[in-house]
Amino acid sequence: MKNKTTHSEYAKLQDVFLKEVSAAFVDQAAIQKQWKVLNYLGEPDLQKAVAEYENFAAIFKQAGINIHHFPSHAHTGMDSMYCRDATIATDAGMILCDMGKAERRGEPLAAKETYEKLGIPILGVIEAPGTLEGGDVAWLDPKTLAVAHGYRTNQSGFEQLKALLNPIGVEVMQVDLPHYRGPSDVFHLMSILSPVDKDLAVVYSPLMPVRFRQELLARGYDLVEVPESEFDSMGCNVLAIAPRTCLMVKGNPQTKAGLEKAGCTVYEYEGAEISVKGGGGPTCLTRPLWRTL
């Protein structure tokens, strides 16, 4: 345990959970029933989505990362493919979230079943009236977790998380998110922040609270700025699989160039069906577990 941690967004990824598109989308009929309710930009094409996902997952296999899968579950829907959101990983065990999006309320308990089968401990559970989603949290360092206050994560959820993490020596920093496009939009903390090394983060500054941005700079972070033209195409949603080794949705050339200028190796995947339409990039599509120090 001493040489690995879950308290990082950038250390070398060793184990990751994925939920394959076929397990989440099931079939085209299920997609047709759900995509408008879930506020997707368009109806995903299952065949194209499966092909995209196979290429996405192949990047982890080629990197030698251990992949664990969440299976299909009767109480989850299309959005469960974005498996970061249902739980938070800590070195002391998993925390089950209480989803701010009502249609996703079954996902944490479904994830719990998988964790229990694998012998992964549960540290705690966020309970109503608290809401908390994994896309609203990001490790700034092994002892500091930034947590959004927005439409997906509320004050009660924040306080419950703080009560679980403070005893294990983790400081929880609250970050107030703007209204932006309102409660129906997919907008998380990681929509505007992706740490990719101990001192490097991808950010979308126009929607970033001033105090939080200043905090990142005070901590010594250099910032790769995402242009407005690449925000909706998820230029800011970047997954580090190792320090300065990143994975992002294809179609964000300026952000990619900024990362490469900062010394990063960047892998891309086609994500029109699995990412852009549902508003979930590579951080959303993964539940990282252990990273090697």
Quote the CA–CA distance of 138 and 98 in Å, as a whole number. 17
Asked if residue 209 has pLDDT above 80, the reply is yes
| Res 186: pLDDT | 81
Q: Which residue in this structure is represented by tokens 């249609």?
A: 103
Tokens (6 digits) for 214: 């200043």
Quote the CA–CA distance of 251 and 268 in Å, as a whole number. 9
**pLDDT band for position 1 (50/70/90)?**
low
DSSP conformation letters of 115-157? HHHHT--EEEE--TT--B-GGGEEEEETTEEEEEESSSS-HHH
| Res 184: pLDDT | 82
Number of domains into which the chain is organized: 1
| Res 185: pLDDT | 83
Is residue 276 within 8 Å of 41, Cβ to Cβ?
yes
**pLDDT band for position 83 (50/70/90)?**
very high
Is residue 267 within 8 Å of 41, Cβ to Cβ?
no
pLDDT digits (tens, 9 = 90+) for 135-175: 999 999 999 999 999 999 999 999 999 999 999 999 999 99
Please name which of 86, 85, 76 lies closest in space to residue 30, comparing C-alpha atoms: 76
Mean pLDDT of 22-34: 97
Range of the domain at 267: 4-292
Mean pLDDT of 221-230: 98
Asked if residue 2 has pLDDT above 80, the reply is no
Rg (CA), the chain: 17
Quote the CA–CA distance of 210 and 206 in Å, as a whole number. 9
CA count, 13 A, side-chain hemisphere, 12 = 8
**What φ, ψ does residue 194 adopt, rounded to 5°?**
-140, 100
Beta bridge partners of 288: 16
Q: What is the DSSP letter of 84?
A: T
**pLDDT band for position 182 (50/70/90)?**
confident
**What φ, ψ does residue 212 adopt, rounded to 5°?**
-70, -40
User: What CATH number does the domain containing 201 carry?
Assistant: 3.75.10.10
Mean pLDDT of 88-100: 97
pLDDT digits (tens, 9 = 90+) for 248-274: 999 999 999 999 999 999 999 999 999
